[in-house]
Amino acid sequence: MQTSTDIAARLGGQELRRIVYSEKDIAERVDIMGRAIGAHYPDDEPLLVIGLLKGSFIFLADLVRRIPRPLVVDFLGAASYGSATVSSGNVRLVYDPEAEIAGKHVLLVEDIIDSGNTVNRLVPKLRERGPRSLELCALLHKRLAPPLRLEPRWVGFEAPPEFLVGYGLDYSENYRGLPFIGSI
């Protein structure tokens, strides 16, 4: 088994303090969430799953394979961290979904809800496009944000107040490929 020092050296980043959620824990939780999402939506209506880039891409890939129904996947890019470990509060839209949203059930997939700035900025923009429904799914929720414009219907884990990396989450673009979630 690799130590956090081995992983940090390999990735050129900071040393991991601890593993917060193991690969096994994540896989089990994603399976449960996927089945719950599949049961929530009617089978005869289109489901559009929109992943928030870049952090959600690994979670999204695993999640959509666990949702037992047809769906369409698209992405939305927003940035607020840069190379810092605290959100700047300035959310920039860097990629807009190409899929038609009007009249569809839309599931927005987020890696982590921390400050709430990204969700609070994006939800009104998506609602303006006339989805039939809009729900939020987050792998991690720190419960630090002020009231959100859309509370997540599905949450993988309640996250500790630490800076987390792995399974898509990054620190200055490092650590995304780790199969677990750790703290730096």
Enumerate the active-site residues.
Answer: 114
The span from the CA of 157 to the CA of 151, in Å, is 14
| Parallel, antiparallel or unpaired: strands 92-95 and 72-79 | antiparallel
Greatest pairwise CA separation for the chain in angstroms: 50
CA distances from 10 to 22, 58, 129, 179 (A): 19, 20, 43, 14
Which structure tokens are listed for 113?
Answer: 């809800």
